[in-house]
Amino acid sequence: MAWFAKRKIKVANGLLGIETSPEGIALARVLREPGQPPRLLECQFHEATSVEQPALLKRLVNELGFAGMPVNLLLHPATYQMLLLDSPDVPATELRDAMRWRVKELISEPLENVVVDAFNLPEDAYRGRSRMAYCAVLNKARMHALGAMCNEAGLRLGSIDVTEMAFRNLGVLAGSEGMSLALLRLRSSEGLIAVQHGADLYMARRIEQGLDQADPEFSAMTLEIQRSLDYYESQLGKGYINRLLLLPMKRNGAAALQALSNGLAVKLQALDLRELFPGQASAELSEQEQAYCMGAVGAALRQEVG
């Protein structure tokens, strides 16, 4: 089991992306065929408590005929820590072990109780001043519980992923080749903005303002988002952000899009699964349903990365 698997997963019938959250389970299946754009064959969300989710997943696998399929399991953002740290001068194969010791003083749990993975930012990030890496930290018992849930459901767990990388996958499909593209997600208590150039992730920052704290004009949230965009343009050395995409929201989507569009220096556009996958499993999904499924779709879009 690996967080950011470097091997290509064989997916003759597609790859399943699954995200568990306090509200339920989202499931998506994406099929890739040579010379064709990826196809979204399944996309659904089911409400369930954490206690109910193992039985629900097992039932869904049986009903949908997914037994034995490979899975990229996406962690809910509340279940892991993501840290941006100086990257040690070690080969890529040794980065995980090297970063494990660097996070020791930055986490509240004993090191033996967590699993750690890491990936370097591109060499030209921060204008070459210093090499940086993102480091993800997950409780080991939680990882084993998630693995057991997949195994008991009859699935083949190929990798465990984080939201930042799932969003990167969505950005690639949305057209990040040759440009700086940002994805923005807003939730009740917080948000996330991720910026990439092509397939390379350059920045992922949490937005402290959530929808529950937003004023009617979204002014404080707009300022925080603009500061993140300015930071990317001034510090990371890749120039202006060409596109900013707002992911579907569970509520207040139209109001947020209008208010933020009025205050941001870059044009804000809504990202719609129905446009990414025209005429496919997303055709009948409402914006709220898309909001619940977006992470799972990003996970199912995973490809070989190294």
Do residues 247 and 273 touch, judged by C-beta distance below 8 A?
Answer: no
CB burial of 199-238 (b: ≥16 within 10 Å; e: otherwise) equals ebbbbbbebebebeebeeebeebbebbeebbeebbeebeb
**pLDDT tens-digit series, residues 262-272:** 999 999 999 99
Q: What is the DSSP letter of 55?
A: H
Tell me the average pLDDT across 222-251.
Answer: 93
Question: Which alpha helices (DSSP H) does 193-272 contain, by range?
Answer: 219-235, 253-263
Which sequence spans correspond to the domains of the chain?
77-139, 175-271
Q: Looking at the predicted structure, is the pLDDT value of residue 234 above 50?
A: yes
Distances (CA, A) of 253 to 30, 107, 213, 286: 26, 35, 15, 11
In this predicted model, which residue has the larger pLDDT, 105 or 15? Answer: 15
**The CATH number of domain 175-271, selected from 3.40.50.300, 1.10.357.10, 3.30.420.40, 3.30.1360.200:** 3.30.420.40
Tokens read off for 236? 């990371």
- Helix residue ranges per DSSP H, the chain: 53-64, 95-102, 140-152, 163-174, 219-235, 253-263, 273-276, 287-300
Whether 164 and 194 have beta carbons less than 8 Å apart is answered as yes
Q: How confident is the model at residue 57 (pLDDT cuts 50, 70, 90)?
A: very high
Q: CB of 40 within 8 A of CB of 199?
A: no
Q: Which pLDDT tens digit goes with each residue over 179-201?
A: 999 999 999 999 999 999 999 99
117-147 confidence digits (pLDDT tens): 999 999 899 887 789 999 999 999 999 999 9
SS3 299: helix
Query: Does residue 6 surpass a pLDDT of 80?
Result: no
Q: How far apart are CA 289 and CA 249, in angstroms?
A: 9
pTM: 0.94
Same fold? 77-139, 175-271: yes
Distance of CA 282 to the CA centre of its chain: 18
Q: Which of 16, 34, 2, 261 is nearest to 156 (CA)?
A: 16
CATH of domain 77-139: 3.30.420.380
